Structure 1
Amino acid sequence: MALESLSEHAEAQLAEIELLLSMFPSQDELEVEPVAYAELRAYVEGTADCPPDTRPELCIKIRTHTGYVGSLARCGESSRAQHTRLVAGLRSHLCESCTGEVCVLSAVDWLRDHTHEYLELDTAANGTKAIEAVETLSAETFTRLWIYSHHIYNKSKRKNILEWAKELQLTGFSMPGKPGVVCVEGLQAACEEFWARVKVLTWKRIMIRHREDVPLDLTTQSDSSLRRFDGFDETAFDPHGSRGNHMDLGQLFQFLSERGCSQIFQLYFGVEGR
């Protein structure tokens, strides 16, 4: 493989891993082999001349109502036969849809959608309780996603963000410009659907900077009691700059503070707001 192709492939690998780390900030959900990850980062950033000998190994854990299930490494939650079928199904999916491409995100999406099917195959025979489908779990979880983009200028994307949030009954806000900020909150399934649509648009850089997940007791609690925003709107804060694409971040901090979200400012920008 040419050096330029090696570099581009390494950059694509690192970008996907960093996106996954933003989506799964807890080691209870995602484990990355640290040495190979550090070597990959060093090569991409130019502090190492040679690409790493091995690719970073990932362990993605899919959450069920009984806990976390290791999807790529067999654990006590899955039998050997279940694990074998799961890996075979994943390989078949990747052969059909990801030939020659970096496709970690596609693999994760497939695992989220199909892991429970393979874990449920043997439940009738062994008498154990069937694991609930991912969609059922999502319906009982309130989620808030804090999304960061290098910039949000495009009118079509801005329209999509507004329309999709309202279609999925999500509340929050979108701040266009550079950088771009989007917050959506509501039932987990709706938030995941919103992110699935947004992330495949063409972006210079976009990621989930932070996420909040709160299990709901549907008998005593509704998702509306946890919402910090009324409706979903595009919000601007004194646009300025030659293109009118920079916002007053002090006003953004005030906006977040009024809704009990002031801590998010430092997560986005690395400094305390004021």
Structure 2
Amino acid sequence: MAQSQTEHAEAQLAEIELLLSMFPSQDELEVEQVAYAELRSYVEGTADCPPDTRPELCVKIRTHTGVDVSLSCTYPSDYPAVLPEIVVRCGELSRAQHTCLVSGLRSYLRENCTGEVCVLSAVDWLRDHTHEYLEQDDSNDDDGAKGTTETQIGETFTRLWIYSHHIYNKSKRKNILEWAKELQLTGFSMPGKPGVVCVEGLQAACEEFWARVKVLTWKRIMIRHREDVPLDSVTQNAESLRRFDGFEEAAFDPHGNRGNHMDLGQLFQFLSERGCAQIFQLYFGVEGR
């Protein structure tokens, strides 16, 4: 196991250093320096333990047709045995076009790069193929906000149940609300201690939301549970699978010295009304009542 872990770290470091040589400017490539230094120390033998922080990088790409795209990657500890977490941003893509592009990129990486470092392959793919998705017709797409039924078929509907040690900070709470609405996700956020967030929608949008949230400063945050449903028929579309009508911050009789504890009985009732009662035990280890 240790040898495999070392090999993964060596491959990660080699890829980052290759990318740094190819994109020497910070305007082209940003690397999270603390994680990079920890990774290098581990590979070079000056640190005995694998790094606690995961390497992250962002490549700024200009496609052959002059479109600006950014590719952000976070390495899991066992990358490249598994694919990295990727986030693609492009201001010229509609939501439907963006969803299709991310799906196409993920499919390409799964088919061609599993087991191998893949960031450079992803960069090349985006340079070569982004224009194809910009040319897709989404005239029936409500200005690109939700995506048509046709673009959803073959996609995956996802529901993420996120647990945080606490959610107090007003800026974080505002980000959670704004990002969920921007990405056309439904669900809720419960601030306080503990903090609970549920988002549901197309998989690419949920993963984009998680990629943004997890890099904020937290004492502890994790995906406690996830649900993935393939959208393989016209009758089984994303809208029919949603349990929530919109996205809201939900408070349940706040109490305690700082008003940061919620009435968990009311939370259980809230979840039960939306067919999600089983989630309560996953979060808190006891049956709700």
Q: TM-score, normalised by structure 2?
A: 0.56
Match of residue 108, structure 2, among 109, 116, 127: 116
2:163 to 117, 139, 148: 148
Shift of 1:176: 0.2
Do the aligned partners of 2:153 and 2:232 also contact (CA within 8 Å) in 1?
Answer: no
1:146–1:210 Cα contact (<8 Å) kept: yes
- Say if 2:167 and 2:195, in contact at 8 Å, map to a contact too: yes
Cα distance in 1 between the residues matched to 2:192 and 2:279: 18
**Residue 165, structure 1, aligned to residue 157, structure 2:** no
Q: State the distance in 1 between where 2:153 and 2:279 align.
A: 23
Residue 199 of structure 2 is matched in structure 1 by: 184
Q: 1:161 to 1:255 in 2, by over 3 A?
A: same
Residue from 244, 248, 263 that aligns with 1:229: 244
Q: Which residue type is aligned with residue 38 of structure 2?
A: G
Question: Is residue 93 of structure 1 aligned with residue 31 of structure 2?
Answer: no
Q: CA deviation at 1:248?
A: 0.1
Residue 198 of structure 1, aligned match among 195, 200, 213:
213
Cα pair 2:152 2:231 within 8 Å, conserved:
no
Name the CA distance, whole Å, in 2 between partners of 1:57 and 1:260: 41
User: Does the aligned pair in 1 maintain the 2:152–2:237 contact within 8 Å?
Assistant: no
Corresponding position: 1:107 with 2:75:
yes
Could you tell me whether the CA contact under 8 Å between 1:174 and 1:233 is conserved in 2? yes
1:161-210 CA deviation, whole Å, 9 max, x = no partner? 00000000000000000000000000000000000000000000000000
Give, in whole Å, the separation in 1 of the partners of 2:243 and 2:110: 37
What is the RMSD of the two structures over their aligned residues, measured on CA atoms? 3.4
Q: Residue in 1 aligned with 2:285?
A: 270
The residue aligned with 1:62 is: none
Indicate conservation of the 8 Å contact 1:138/1:188, yes or no.
Answer: no
Q: Which amino acid aligns with 1:186?
A: G
Distance in 2 (alpha carbons) for counterparts of 1:161 and 1:55: 39
1:89 deviates by 7.1
Alpha carbons 2:153, 2:231 under 8 Å: kept? no
Q: Which structure has greater helix proportion?
A: 1
Other structure's SS at 1:99 match: helix
Give the residue type in structure 2 aligned to 1:254.
Q
Which consecutive residues of structure 1, in runs of 5 or more, have no partner in the other structure?
A: 1-32, 34-53, 59-71, 73-86, 122-132
Check 1:118–1:230 CA distance in 2 against 1; reply closer, same or farther (3 A cut).
closer
Q: Which runs of 5+ in 2 are unaligned?
A: 21-30, 40-50, 56-73, 87-105, 114-128, 134-150
Residues 245, 55 of structure 1: alpha-carbon distance in 2 compared, 3 angstrom cutoff: farther
Shift in alpha-carbon separation, 1:56–1:93, aligned structure 2, 3 A: closer
CA 1:139–1:147 in structure 2 vs 1: closer, same or farther (change >3 Å)?
farther
**Paired position in structure 2 for 1:79:** none
Query: Structure 1 residues 139, 172: closer, same or farther in 2, change over 3 A?
Result: farther
Q: 1:137 to 1:258 in 2, by over 3 A?
A: closer
- CA distance in 1 between counterparts of 2:269 and 2:256 reads 21
Asked whether the equivalents of residues 140 and 218 of structure 1 are also in contact (C-alpha less than 8 Å), the reply is no
Structure 2 SS opposite 1:153: coil
Tell me the TM-score normalised to structure 1 length: 0.59
Number of residues of Structure 1 aligned to a counterpart in Structure 2: 184
> Are 1:210 and 2:225 an aligned pair?
yes
Q: 1:189 aligns to what SS in structure 2?
A: helix
Partner of 1:7: none
State the 1:55 CA deviation. 7.7
One-letter identity of the residue aligned with 1:100? E
